[in-house]
Amino acid sequence: MSVAVAVRTGAPTGRLRVTLANLGSAWRAYARDRASLAALSFLLLVAAAAVLAPHVAPYDPYEMVALRNALPGEEGLILGADGDGRDVLTRLIWGGRISLLIGIAPTLLAMIASLFVGIFAGYLGGWVDLVIMRFLDMFFAFPLVLVAIVVAGILEPGLLTIIVAIFIALLPYITRLVRTTALSVKAQPYIEAARAGGASPWAILWRYVLPNVVAPVIVYTTTLMGMMMVLGSGLSFLGLGVPPPVADWGTMVSEGRTVLKNAPHVTVFPGLLIVLVALAFGFIGDGLRDALDPRSRKR
């Protein structure tokens, strides 16, 4: 067979062109769902505010700037003041740093770790699978929240503790999904075809199993982010997370409950934000499901 080398010139060619086209079609598939688009915009706005907190927050988060429990609109504070007279809006902006980190970081880390563990268990099967999965099954005997509380309780309270606790609590859940997905991918004829083509076990794991497992796992992980933010807030509420006066949204809800009767806004605003952001993660997961489906890729 002769070798014909096709030379093409001009704008992006070959692999790069495909990658760019894929990003384009993935984005179009994502953006087709208005709710996902709105959720992403909302989340980007919240994240930007959190990152730029020192520049955008109107006051100091720890300073008393108004009368205690000032209602929204009073004394020039849009969202009012909390039980210590601190600006609620400012504390929400600063709290976003911690709350978003708690939602995203441990979940992402757990996803990466689970991909490795789950693919090994699912694809290799046999005793590897047996040992890994029975070990993780032990965690399933306890509710996720309880596992997180136990881990957080063992360590010193703090941001890192929450991240570690959620990471450990999530591992069994994501690993189980990865393993199940890897099992179904393993049974696909294209795996047998790849083996018949002489692909090594490593090549099959990296180029055949991983790419076909990763999409559903990313979708699941994204929806978990919102839930984990709520869980992290819960841990802070129990005093296992960031110590006061540092604000995260969970702590703010917790502090607000003492003045709930006279100043419900101190609890309601952080609570509402937690709900909205968690919801946004869910919608983003939906959008990613469409974006990551290879069938959405156009020519």
Q: Which x/- pattern over 211-250 shows residues binding other proteins (rule: CB under 8 A)?
A: xx--------------------------------------
Task: Count CB neighbours of 225 within 10 A.
Answer: 26
Q: Is 108 in the site for other proteins (CB under 8 A)?
A: no
Q: Is 68 in the site for other proteins (CB under 8 A)?
A: no
Q: Which of 130, 143, 155, 188 forms a contact with other proteins (CB under 8 A)?
A: 188
Q: Which of 9, 10, 14, 134 forms a contact with other proteins (CB under 8 A)?
A: 14
* Contact predicate 129/193, CB 8 Å: no
Give DSSP secondary structure letters for 187-235.
Answer: TSHHHHHHHHTT--HHHIIIIIIHHHHHHHHHHHHHHHHHHHHHHHHHH
Structure tokens at 141: 């005997």
**93: helix, coil or strand?**
helix
* Contact predicate 228/222, CB 8 Å: no
Nearest approach, Cβ of residue 295 and other proteins (Å)? 5
Q: Is 24 in the site for other proteins (CB under 8 A)?
A: no
Return d(Cα 52, Cα 256) in angstroms, integer: 25
Q: Is 207 in the site for other proteins (CB under 8 A)?
A: yes
Q: Of 145-153, 163-171, 175-183, 204-212, which segment contacts other proteins by CB under 8 A?
A: 204-212
The residues of the shown chain that bind other proteins, judged by CB under 8 A, are 1-6, 8, 14-15, 17-18, 188-190, 192-200, 203, 207-208, 211-212, 294-295, 297, 299
